[in-house]
Structure 1
Amino acid sequence: MARSPDLESRASSSLTHASTPELAIKVDEEQGAGISREIVDASGTAPEAEKEPPPPIGEPVSKVVSVNNIGAIPNGGLVAWLQVAGAFFLFFNSWGIVNSFGVFQTYYESELLQDSNASAISWIGSIEAFLLMLVGALTGPIYDAGYFRELLWAGSFLVTFGLMMLSICKEYWQVLLAQAFCVGFGTGCLFVPSVAILSTYFTTHIATAMGLAAAGSSLGGVLYPIIFYRLQPLIGFGWTTRTIGFIVLATQLIPNLCMKVRVLPASKRKIVDWSAFREPPYALFVVGGFLAFMGLYTPFFYIQLFAIQSNIADTNLAFYLLPILNASSIFGRIFPNMVADKVGPFNIIVLCAIISGILALCLNAVSSIGSLIVFCILYGFFSGSFVSLPPTILVGLSPNRGIIGTRMGMNFACVAVGILIGTPIAGAILDTSGFTAVWIFGGVLTVLGGCVIGVARVCKIGWKLTAFG
């Protein structure tokens, strides 16, 4: 059924001048009978629209705004920034918990799981991080289907429940089930909402918004280890872990109350877009992320143990190295992202990756507490962009906004494998060859990953250093 020019003009005007971001735009019967839902690709052209039957007489029509309608994206305002606040706490209780595993690694090796070696214990943290990324990728279609709120509820429950169960664990297999699998699945449910919703509220400031939200993971990585370390000697492992669970439950109220979907894709998306791997920039970016993440988390897991076993610091002082690393990462997720909005996210992430790898290699020359603290500050800052910038880059690597979720999910799934195997391999290297080989392993992989991402950048925008990318 053909639409009148007057109808198209009024419908377009109502979308462009909408003052509040809503899940659906209400079009009354006079305007909306027989309106079709369209997807506009990145070039601004519209494929053939999906026709929908007219509404019953006297009833309004509810239509979903196209994810590609750039003009309707608010790029600010109270509701948009509330999404950033909500996403901040989703990162706080997902990546923030994963970033805190170093303090559990040290505690398990010295107290709860003394009979297990470093590699076996590190599998707990790596599976937890792996499931965060993998489940996050698989829940993309659930988000697209409109079950955003259900994902928040499920994730909030699983993370809290997993921590409560961890508080009563005594054996390795129990810790594996509670912390690796239950908490890992829960964080995976929270991860997609934290990154997917922001791209529907921001375009020009997307890197800054993503960086502010991702800073929540660093703050969680600062506070949760300190809470664990200070409370555990006073009230024991059980009640300390329960306290962290109660904090998760309380802080999850914020995203559950303030976050709101503005727009969903007009149709269900595929889980895999195989054509993406035929595009060199995307394929190389995925390979680079896989390699970099294999090495990136090695200092997060082993820096405390390194300080203690190398007699650089006592137990009390060594504990604060992980919070220092995560605290500096807060700034590393905000300021590089602000610069990325000006010079391009590709330029920033390549630089930060290579510097992070070089810093990891420099750990072999560290022999004093002062130099180790400087390392933690620098490494936290430069490695911070690896969590906050990839979603922004993937937006630019998608031909239209309707498949951003698919391509993010594919990237997260591949990167998840790198996270899964990286730190256990480092643990096995530690058991056989010592810390020198561990830092070489982590540093070389991170530098190599940064270089591959650099090649992806060249394929996308060329060799010109000043090009936005």
Structure 2
Amino acid sequence: MAPPSIDEKGSRNNSRATLALSNTTSRTASIENMSISSSQDSHSDEPSWPRGWRPYICSFACFFLMFNSWGLVNAYGTFASYYVGHSLRNQDQLELNLIGSTQSFLVLLFSAPVGRLLDAGYARWVIMIGAFLVPFGMFMLSLAHPVDPAATANYVTIWLTQGFVVGLGMAFFFVSSSQVAATWFPHRKGLVVGFVACGASVAGVVYPTVTRYSIDAFGFNNAVHVVAGVVSVTVVFTVLFAHPNPAHDHPKPQSWSALKTWVDVDAFHNKAFCWFTAAVAFLFLGFYPIFFNLEEWAAVSGYGTRGGSRMSMELPQSDNKPLETFWLLTIMNGASTVGRLTMAAFSDKTGKLNMHIASQVMSCLFVLILWSLASSTTAAIAFCVLFGMTSGAVIGLPPASIADILACTYNTPENKHISHTKLGQWTGMMYSIAAIPSLVGPVVAGHLVTVYEDYITVQMWSGCSLFVSALCMIASRYYLPCADGERVGAKVARKLGKEEEWDAREKAKVVTSESEADVTVISQATTRVPSQNLSRDTRERWFPAMPAFVASPTRTRGDDRMV
């Protein structure tokens, strides 16, 4: 152990100063916090835009990480449309949706542990695991699927290859895409993360189009080979160039088995975080049933065409000229790209959570009204465009909204750096909690279609889930301050004429928190503040060759103070 510095010992000249020093030390004693804080200080001297080619090629490589994670999930509707008309035509809609929901479940479930591994500096290993699993699962899908278009496939092997193996590989890509790119752009994190997020919507355009035209030209198995080839080429690019900034700190935990390494308990004492996590859970409960069932809804409603059989529902008589169903999913994902960029840009001025609430409310209205009342191909396209734009913001803004919640929670100069150190962990915890709803939502929606033979069930299920999600976001916003620093609750109390009751309740909370803090500091003071005089054992261990009067902090000799 290194001896304490002379200046440090000399500064301990009264009990009050020592108590303040003890309080400060307790906040920054963590090695993890200290290293990240120093990293942020070093970033303050960096230019607004990084120099050199590596940051920009890395962001492009991270774009492909998102391209091959949520992008493949967004494109699953085209695969489901083929399965329901051909190789899995005898399966329940519930089982078909289970393949896609398994992918989203695994991506979300492993968000927290993958994010923690990235923080510890294992980005290359994380990405390489995903780079093997995703192409491997796609190639195995082509082997598991029968060559004859009229043959029936084994559902378990399709689920195992496309749902489980590919989904597991995607889990290593999702969080990596934003976290790795952000290390290169300390002053432009919002913009680069928005660019990376567009990989999902661009893939939602590319993969359905490539899949559908390849099926028509080469058959399903060869179409899967084409998709797997695109995945392999882009994955090799990410392995070569998706590396975090070497100057970025990667603090490793003291113990990987400790609960606090993986779960921050403080988050669950934050009401804004809890309500927003509930909002994201309801979001995934109703979001992906739309993407997974859109093409089949268009086919059975007469607004789109696809090959194969099993259109058990009665087709309406319509004079509309239908288009191929995969175009609807492509249009929706293309509009999502516009929404991700434009609404993310406006959110910097309006507030991330505010924009998130607005886009969520519009999304649920589009589903409940526009989609359920769509009676023509034109109306179906209009729904895809409008919902695609708002849904892009809905699915892309959760990390930014969590950043807002953290910034409002840790808003003093002493603890402001904590909001940066906890962003990845809180975001990962939020997504992991939403994993179960993402698995259950599409399955329940598919079962409702099978039982009632009407897609109004999916429309109401998704619309109501998004509506409840919007209500939870509003509740989360209630616990956060406005731009002028005043809480939303205070403004509401003033409008209702209950301002005095609100002030009294807030003062009671402040008094309670201050008393608890005083008790905590006093109880820790005796253990954290060392004695003014060094013990004999310490003096002999640290200063074996020095006389006793030199080691004593209270003695002086002449005009020079000996500490």
Residue number in structure 1 paired with 2:466 = 446
Q: C-alpha distance in 1, partners of 2:66/2:188?
A: 19
Q: How many residues get paired?
A: 420
User: Are residue 71 (structure 1) and residue 47 (structure 2) matched?
Assistant: no
Residue in structure 2 matched with residue 210 of structure 1 by the alignment? 193
| 2:80 paired residue number | 105
1:48 correspondence with 2:36:
no
Is 1:136–1:190's contact at 8 Å kept on the other side of the alignment?
A: no
Q: CA deviation at 1:187?
A: 0.4
| Structure 2 CA distance for aligned equivalents of residues 173 and 423 of structure 1 | 18
The whole-number CA distance in structure 1 between the counterparts of 2:485 and 2:288 is: 29
Structure 2's unaligned 5+ residue stretches are 8-23, 145-152, 254-259, 307-322, 411-417, 489-563
CA distance in 1, matches of 2:25, 2:176: 27
Question: Alignment partner of 1:252: what SS?
Answer: helix
| One-letter identity of the residue aligned with 1:369 | T
Alignment-derived partner of residue 274 in structure 1: 265
1:182 paired residue among 153, 165, 186: 165
Q: What is the CA-CA distance between 1:404 and the residue it aligns to? A: 2.0
Change (3 A) 1:67 1:445: farther
Distance 1:74 1:413 in 2: 35
Corresponding residue number in structure 1 for 2:92: 117
Pick which of 185-194 and 336-345 moved more. 336-345
Higher mean C-alpha displacement, 390-399 vs 305-314: 390-399
Is there any run of 5+ residues in structure 1 with no aligned partner, and where? 6-42, 52-62
Say if 1:466 and 1:217 are closer, same or farther in 2 by CA, change over 3 A: farther
> How is 1:5-404 mapped onto 2 (pairs within 5 angstroms)?
47-48=28-29, 50=31, 66-69=38-41, 71=44, 75-77=48-50, 78-169=53-144, 170-202=153-185, 204-262=187-245, 263-268=248-253, 270-315=261-306, 316-362=323-369, 363-398=371-406, 399=410, 400=418, 401-404=420-423
Taking a change above 3 Å as real, the CA distance of residues 431 and 175 of structure 1, as seen in their structure-2 partners, is same
Measured against aligned partners, the alpha-carbon deviations of 1:207-249 in whole angstroms (never above 9, x if no partner) come to 2222111101001011101111001122111111111111111
CA distance in 1, matches of 2:325, 2:56: 37
Partner Cα separation in structure 2 for residue 75 and residue 150 of structure 1: 30
Q: Does the C-alpha gap of structure 1 residues 159 and 210 become closer, same or farther in structure 2, counting only changes over 3 Å?
A: same
TM superposition shift of 1:461: 2.1
Number of the residue aligned with 1:55: none
| Partner-residue secondary structure (3-state), 2:110 | helix
- Deviation of 1:48 after TM superposition, in Å, equals 3.0
Structure 2: how far apart are the matches of 1:4 and 1:249?
60
Partners in 2 of 1:421 and 1:352 — Cα distance?
23
Q: Quickly say closer, same or farther: Cα 1:343–1:463, change in 2 above 3 A.
A: closer
Whole-angstrom CA distance in 2 between matches of 1:242 and 1:126 = 23
C-alpha distance 233-386 of structure 1, shift in aligned 2 (>3 A): same
Tell me, in whole angstroms, the C-alpha distance in 2 between the residues paired with 1:228 and 1:425: 27
Partner Cα distance (2:249, 2:226) in 1 = 36
Cα gap change, 1:75 to 1:440, in 2 (>3 Å) = farther
Q: 1:66-87: CA deviations, max 9, x gaps?
A: 4544526655224443332222
Measure the CA separation in 2 of the matches of 1:443 and 1:3.
64
How far, CA to CA, are the matches of 2:92 and 2:252 in structure 1? 48
2:429 matched residue in structure 1: 410
In the TM superposition, residue 467 of structure 1 has moved relative to its aligned partner by: 10
The whole-number CA distance in structure 2 between the counterparts of 1:437 and 1:372 is: 17
Amino acid at match of 1:325: M
- Identity among equivalent pairs (%): 27
The Cα offsets for residues 316-362 of structure 1, whole Å up to 9 and x where unpaired, read as 52221000100111111111111112222111111111111111112
Q: TM-score, normalised by structure 1?
A: 0.83
CA distance in 2, matches of 1:4, 1:241: 69
Tell me if structure 2 keeps the 8 A contact 1:67–1:265: no
Amino acid in the other structure paired with 1:47: T
**For the aligned residues, what is the CA RMSD?**
2.7
Measured after TM superposition, the shift of residue 466 of structure 1 is: 12
SS in 2 for 1:112: coil
Report the alpha carbon displacement of residue 373 of structure 1 after superposing the two structures with TM.
0.4
1:72–1:410 CA distance, 2 compared to 1 (3 A): farther
